[in-house]
Chains A and B, each alone.
Chain A
Amino acid sequence: MPIPLDAAEVLNREFLEVRAKILEIAAALDRLDRADGSVSGDQRMERIRQGLAALARPGSDRAEQVQLIFSLPYEEGWRKQFQLTEGRG
């Protein structure tokens, strides 16, 4: 289903909001750097870095890619691990 607005209209509508959100992220990262201590080894920081990198890549599925970065992996064999049988009913 197409977006009724063209790209220029989307940009006109959303430019200031996108700018504001980027500023919020920048300020939060600055806050982390100003605070005492270090979180460089925290896995959440690595996910934030991966999320920011995903924004810079081309494509129309960035939101899905960011969701995947912040998700625990699905494991095919989970039923066996839980000792649950398949094929009920």
Chain B
Amino acid sequence: MYYIDPHIHMVSRVTDDYETLAKMGCVAMSEPAFWAGFDRGSVDGFRDYFRQLTEFETKRAGWYRVQHYTWLCINAKEAENVSLSREVIAMIPEFLDRPGVLGIGEIGLNKNTRNESIVFLEHLDLAMKTNEQILIHTPHLEDKLKGTRMIVDMLCDDRRIDHSRVLVDHVEEHTIRAVLDEGFWAGMTLYPVSKCTPQRAVDMVEMYGPERLMVNSAGDWGPSKPTAVPDFILAMRLRGHPESLIRKIVYENPLEFFSQSRGFHFNPPEVPEAIGG
């Protein structure tokens, strides 16, 4: 089955992973800007990173005919440095009209601090002034509930924001309802230990339905699995769900959401799929 991974950090992966993903049916992916594992020291460090995202990763994905899209921001872990964050936010528009840029992300909260909130709000303001879509990171483990509620508060406070153009990622059983009820898109991240398993993602599909719901691998430099979306596809099949439902979640939903970005120009696979179920 063809699928799209809407949240995967390919800068952390080797080229062999692109080949594996292509073999498993991945036809497109989007890569939000994130934390490199260390705090970058200058705005030029981010400028180079954005060049990597918009130039080299697109090229590397293209070697395997995978279409690569990206989102730009300074992530929450580096947002404690408000002055650097403001420099980066001021520099982001240099890249917004580059091919494949879908919007601002992954912005969000990490430890739910005041500085993180300030930088999050300033990213929202940039997105509204430049008419960009937004992709959001929610915190992990014990911080997730509080941080997700704070993020939803800030999004709902801003009357300029079209909720159907916002994807809130890393939802789990205790946060998914608050996100979907407000009309946002929700992403379930399949990630060992700190996020969600394929089986629990299938449970949430059964409990909340497939509308405005996606799954992603977040494959990054941590212990993660870039082929987690095919694991979800298999878990859905083993549970007895039809191919049409699976395809909606892993292909049609990302396509519908991304299509709202002016930087999204998608070439469908040339070989059509036989849809069963």
Chain A residues within CB distance 8 Å of chain B: 1-5, 13, 61, 63-64, 67-68, 70-75, 78-79, 82-84, 86-89
Contact = CB atoms under 8 A, between A and B. Distances in A.
A5 B203 CA distance: 12
Interface stretch (B31-39, B146-154, B259-267): B146-154
Closest 10 CB pairs of A and B: A4-B240, A67-B174, A71-B145, A89-B160, A89-B158, A64-B173, A82-B114, A74-B149, A89-B159, A63-B173
Interface of B is mostly: helix
Contacts of B206: 1-3
B157 interface: yes
A4 B239 contact: yes
Interface residues of B, number: 35
Contacts of A4: 239-241
B161 interface: yes
Contacts, number: 72
A89 B163 CA distance: 14
Given A5-B240, A89-B158, A89-B160, A71 B142 contact: yes
Interface of A is mostly: loop
A5 B239 CA distance: 7
Interface in B148-199: 149-150, 153, 157-161, 172-174
Contacts of B142: 70-72
Given A88-B157, A89-B158, A89-B160, A64 B174 contact: yes
23 contacts: A1-B205, A1-B209, A3-B206, A63-B200, A67-B173, A68-B174, A70-B141, A70-B142, A71-B142, A71-B145, A72-B145, A72-B146, A73-B146, A74-B145, A75-B146, A78-B150, A83-B114, A84-B118, A86-B157, A87-B157, A88-B157, A88-B159, A88-B160
Given A63-B200, A67-B173, A82 B117 contact: yes
Nearest to B152: A74
A4 B209 CA distance: 14
B239 A84 contact: no
B26 to A, nearest CB: 26
B156 to A, nearest CB: 9
A4 B161 CA distance: 38
